[in-house]
Amino acid sequence: MAIVLPLLGAAAAVGLARLLAGKDVGARLAGAGPAAGFILAYAAVVGSHGVPVPFADHKALALALMGVVVGILLDTEGWAGRRQRAVVIAIGVALLGWVVAHAVLRTDPGPQRNLIVAYAAAAILVFVRTTKVGGSAGTVPVQLVVAAIGVAAMALAAAGLGFVVWNWPAVRFNPGPALVLGMVTPLLALAGTLMLDRDSSPAALAVLLLVFFSEWIAAKVHIGGGAKGMRPMVMAGSGLAVVVVAVLVAVWTAG
């Protein structure tokens, strides 16, 4: 249920956005689908079964909700290019200030100062990579799904996959602010909790950042003109290889 529900919920939300909002606005609002699927799954699992949920998951839910609402507003404005990119990065980093503030207020921030700085730099890097102007529109959604798997956010990964299936083998929807803010903020919230609150391996999380450069690896693989639909799969495969390396680094540094 934790995987099937966000997958189906996100796929349905993407289709409904396109159907109800029209060709132009609907295509932009389709990016809200993954956050909608993630929020739906969270509400269904917690609400129907009363499952105890860690505070980190509450933060991820709240950030997904805030991020997607702001993203929808930006999508309906129709901004594009560098202006949109700058606004998305600024808002995303501001939202993640909650994660940093919680880490600072929870304990003496002195011993964690370097980790907090590293986390902030990593967050900015992820937003820069996921809002890049130009490039393939199918790149960012695949990278977000793989990165979510890397931090064990399987519901978020499944929700992202609900968007990816609409974009394969041909890209139908571009990854706009609703997709980026609705997925990147909860993803980074969970990564921040692992890094700042649970003593997970910073080195492993640093390796995981390479997922957002996986298109460079995929570009080295020659694919014939009749098999362009294989490009996302090659990129996903290279990203998953990075995840495996990150897991090995985590095991090695833990020992």
pTM as predicted: 0.89
Q: How many CB atoms lie within 10 A of CB 249?
A: 18
Rounded-to-integer distance, Cα 34 and Cα 153, Å: 13
For the chain, 255 residues long, the average pLDDT of each consecutive 10-residue run is 87 90 82 93 68 60 91 81 88 87 68 83 94 75 95 93 89 88 94 79 91 82 63 87 94 79
Three-class secondary structure assignment of 151-170: CCCHHHHHHHHHHHHHHCCC
Query: Residue 255's pLDDT is what?
Result: 59
Q: What is the pLDDT of residue 154?
A: 92
